[in-house]
Amino acid sequence: MYFFRYLLAICLLWCGHALAKPKETIVGQAAHINVDDPYVQMASQYAVSSISEGSGSKQKLGLLKVVSATRQVVSGSLYTIKLQVARTDCKNDVCAISLSAASRDDPDFNECTVKIWDQPWVTPRYKITELKCSKRNANEVSQQ
Cis peptide before 124 (omega within 30 of 0): yes
The per-residue pLDDT for range 46-81, each reduced to its tens digit, is 998 888 888 777 778 888 899 999 999 999 999 999
pTM: predicted TM-score of the whole model, two decimal places: 0.69
Residue 127 domain flag: yes
Residue 58 domain flag: yes
* Residue 36's CATH number: 3.10.450.10
Domain hosting residue 81, numbered range: 26-138
As a residue count, the chain comes to: 144
Strands (E), the chain: 31-32, 61-74, 76-87, 110-118, 126-133
Residue 74 domain flag: yes
Residue 18 domain flag: no
Is residue 82 classed as helix, strand or coil in its secondary structure? strand
- Above 60 in pLDDT, residue 93? no
Residue 99 domain flag: yes
Number of domains in the chain: 1
The per-residue pLDDT for range 6-43, each reduced to its tens digit, is 555 555 455 554 454 455 667 788 999 999 999 999 99
Residue 19 domain flag: no
